[in-house]
Amino acid sequence: MAAEVPRRWQPQIRAKARRTATTTAGLIVDVRARFGFTAPVGTSGDARMCHLTLAFPPHHAARLFDAQEHGATDRQLQQVTADALGEVYFRDGGSRAHSPEAELTDIEQIQFEL
């Protein structure tokens, strides 16, 4: 009985948490990694170690969950995360830098929270 309760309820709890993250709440990501941009010549896109804690809006959470569900590799998941970090932090939803592609490497730690 003790083993059956988590086996039956855990998928429902995870599904509800995912629905919430992808529709209303988003995700919190805490990452320490080398973060930079592929940017035009003469801009400051050099990669550097950063420790960021940011809220991903629901549409970025949905992209991350969808990639995971469709069997994305670790490198592909890193790129989805880098794109979201670039959009949220460096491009500030389009109000700052517009064109560079984000790179996330040398990940020391990363944690996602609902």
Structural domain of 113: 39-114
Residue 10 lies in a domain: no
C-alpha 72 chain-centroid distance: 13
Residue 97 lies in a domain: yes
Residue 14 lies in a domain: no
Per-residue pLDDT tens digits for 48-70: 888 999 999 999 999 999 999 99
Cα 75 to Cα 104: distance, rounded to the nearest angstrom: 9
Q: Is the dihedral of CA 68, 114, 32, 84 positive or negative?
A: positive
Residue 25 lies in a domain: no
Residue 99 has pLDDT above 80, yes or no: no
The band of 114, judged by pLDDT with boundaries at 50, 70 and 90, is confident
Six-digit token pair at 16?
Answer: 């509800």
- Tell me which amino acid residue 98 is: H
Six-digit token pair at 37?
Answer: 């941009």
The band of 81, judged by pLDDT with boundaries at 50, 70 and 90, is very high
Residue 94 lies in a domain: yes
Into how many domains does the chain fold?
A: 1
Q: Output helix, strand, coil percentages for the chain, rounded to the nearest 5.
A: 45, 30, 25
